[in-house]
Structure 1
Amino acid sequence: MPVPEPSAALFLMDPVHLPRLFPGPLLDRLAGSVRVPRRAGPLPAAADGVDPAEAELVITGWGCAPLTAGVLAGLPRVRTVLHAAGSVKAHVTEACWDRGLVVCSAAGANALPVAEYALAAILLCGKDALRMRGTYAAENRLPDPAATGRLGNLGRRVGIVGASRIGRRVIELLRPFDVEVSVYDPHLPRPEARGLGVRPLPLDELVATSEVLSLHAPLLPETRHLLDARRLALLPDGAAVVNTARGALVDTAALTRELESGRLSAVLDVTDPEPLPAGSPLYRLPNVLLTPHIAGALGNELRRLGLAVTEEVERLVAGEPLRHRVLPGDLDRIA
């Protein structure tokens, strides 16, 4: 069934994000396809001549209130929700599906910077950069060549947990490098894994054979603490964990114990809880790089999310199929 062509839209998000997602020229481009206000808010409200009762489209972002039946009652003509961010789980409710709304997400655009961050972390881990940094600072000398025999990315075994959008992008970015890539994803058919050029493995075998393990799975009830104490113990001595997905995929207490022992290293852009308590050892351990959830789109990368939404609006107006739809059945396997 074709998606109705919209003529008016509202922005539902924390207003601080609007100029970052849609800087002036991009907002002007969007306004060439659909009437939009120059203001945003977490809940529907009349703005710049656009009344919620006439809007056929809402463009959501971080800080959007959940689109409950009560909220949607004030948006009687809305048929499409375009999310200028990644996950839609925080604001798309059953009421949206009950009404038959078309939902799209800019998760694909957000995948690129996360994958770039993960690639950089994987390559740094291959050089054991975290430990070498600490040794350099403590001893103020270049490393003894005899102590660098295990360093380097030639033939490094990299394990990818989750063939998600981001996981697949990481696999793609790793292709120019001389690394051996394996993947675990229960939803990935073996022929498709071969098409990606990676070796599918059961999770325990993947963990036990990976020198760098990069997490790209969604957080679901069945994936919480996917890396528990038992699986962390399977990692080879000197292995590294890279987490740009969700902190709760890993048992933080178990990982902390492994890191405190010095057996593993980690690059963690997400943690559980987030942020960590001020006294967490992960802030000070020399074999840990801890960053404040910066892998996803931020700064000038946010325009990429706004552009993805703008292009979807242009497809709507042109009567073309949308490229980034999210279906109800997707929610059980996506972030």
Structure 2
Amino acid sequence: MEVKPKVYAASHPQPLSIVFPAELMAELNETVELDYQGEGPVDYSRLDASIDKSTVALIGQMDLPRERLVRMPSLKAVFNVEGNFYQNIDYDYCFKNNIHVLNCGGAYSQAVAEMSLGMALDMARGITREDRRFRSGKETYLADGCRDSVLLSGSDVGFIGFGNLGRAMLTLLRPFGCRIHIYDPWVPDTVIETQGCIPASLEDVLAHNRFIFVFAGVTRENQGFLNKTMLEKISRDAFFLLMSRAAVVDFDALNTLTSSGYFSAAVDVFPEEPVSPGHTVRKNEHMILSAHRAGGIPQAFSLIGRMVLDDLKLILRGLPPVRMQRAQWETVKSFASKPAG
């Protein structure tokens, strides 16, 4: 009887059934001998009792210090199905022993980009604001209700960050004919220019664009880099969209500036989640609020499962993964995202 490769899964905060719907789950079980601990946080006593020299892959975001990794000499890959590179893995050991640490963040890109586009159009045309006014009997009809409306088409647009999210957003914006200015210190100017965009400094992106999309990941070096001084460079008629990680922004300053009408914002991520019931941001009429909903749609989760399966099969054949994002020695230790859920 064929002995299948052994895979251990502890996928919290997402149940494995969301990442692997029935058809994908059947394919996974055909490919490997799956040991799924079930829902809930990682049960480390069970994990340690289950892993051994025959374990070839892990699915989840479990802590992997050297002393745990050395017990799995056949380990070939760790599949993160939440979306971030956390500092709970001995990356040096993984790189030295040719263990792929893979991230599914790209699976959320299309969903976040579409949400970003929707929020930008909402702010440009005052859609949710006017809905609230209508429900309270304060609506204004025809042109009188559009005095501050603008077109996204042909506008100057700024991106802060040009990774997975920025590139997905660029595709959606192309039909609008925008002039897109990009700040990303990890991306060469020539790459930005090849995409038909304009490399720009952070100050220029903030000061000279009507729509500003924040797609930057958070690292040890850039936490809070969009501070009050930087945010004050934004023009009063601009729309600021925080779609990636709240830790890159001085959130109190953002809330204060927008509350006073300095500029408008849309926010999908917050420094602490859930946001406290009494937080002043709930009363901010110049900010569209979304409870970290941009990426986590069913289609994104099933895409993660498909990506894991595709790369797992390649790795088992002795080939490199091509679907998921690989941890890079030069950058992975810089990431500082907080776990979701």
Q: Normalising by structure 1, what TM-score?
A: 0.87
Alignment correspondent of 2:331: 330
- Kept in 1: contact 2:37–2:43 (CA 8 A): no
For 2:232 and 2:26, locate their aligned partners in 1 and report how far apart those are by CA, in whole Å: 54
For 1:59 and 1:176, locate their aligned partners in 2 and report how far apart those are by CA, in whole Å: 41
- The offset of 1:74, in angstroms, is 4.1
Alignment correspondent of 2:269: 270
- Kept in 2: contact 1:23–1:303 (CA 8 A): yes
For 2:242 and 2:85, locate their aligned partners in 1 and report how far apart those are by CA, in whole Å: 21
Q: Which ranges in structure 1 are unaligned for 5 or more consecutive residues? A: 1-5
Alignment correspondent of 2:55: 56
Question: Against the structure 1 CA distance between its residues 59 and 296, is the aligned structure 2 distance closer, same or farther, given a 3 Å change threshold?
Answer: farther
More off after superposition, 135-144 vs 18-27 = 135-144
Task: Give 1:42's aligned amino acid.
Answer: V
CA RMSD of aligned residues (A): 2.6
Alignment correspondent of 2:104: 106
Mapped pair 1:129 → 2:154 = no
Q: Normalising by structure 2, what TM-score?
A: 0.86
Question: Against the structure 1 CA distance between its residues 183 and 204, is the aligned structure 2 distance closer, same or farther, given a 3 Å change threshold?
Answer: same
More off after superposition, 280-289 vs 189-198 = 280-289
Question: Against the structure 1 CA distance between its residues 333 and 178, is the aligned structure 2 distance closer, same or farther, given a 3 Å change threshold?
Answer: farther
Question: Which residue of 22, 25, 37 maps to 1:24?
Answer: 22
Identity %: 22
Alignment correspondent of 2:147: 148
Mapped pair 1:205 → 2:204 = yes
Question: Against the structure 1 CA distance between its residues 176 and 55, is the aligned structure 2 distance closer, same or farther, given a 3 Å change threshold?
Answer: farther
- The offset of 1:288, in angstroms, is 1.4
Task: Give 1:31's aligned amino acid.
Answer: N
Count residues with an aligned counterpart.
Answer: 326
Mapped pair 1:42 → 2:42 = yes
Question: Against the structure 1 CA distance between its residues 307 and 165, is the aligned structure 2 distance closer, same or farther, given a 3 Å change threshold?
Answer: same
- Kept in 2: contact 1:130–1:265 (CA 8 A): no
Correspondence 1:104-253 to 2 at 5 A = 104-138=102-136, 139-145=138-144, 147-148=146-147, 150-253=149-252
For 1:100 and 1:277, locate their aligned partners in 2 and report how far apart those are by CA, in whole Å: 43
Task: Give 1:14's aligned amino acid.
Answer: H
- Kept in 1: contact 2:211–2:240 (CA 8 A): yes
For 1:103 and 1:332, locate their aligned partners in 2 and report how far apart those are by CA, in whole Å: 12
For 1:163 and 1:302, locate their aligned partners in 2 and report how far apart those are by CA, in whole Å: 23
Correspondence 1:77-116 to 2 at 5 A = 77-94=74-91, 95-97=93-95, 99-116=97-114
- The offset of 1:25, in angstroms, is 1.2
- The offset of 1:105, in angstroms, is 1.6
Question: Against the structure 1 CA distance between its residues 147 and 300, is the aligned structure 2 distance closer, same or farther, given a 3 Å change threshold?
Answer: closer
Secondary structure of the structure 1 residue equivalent to 2:266: strand
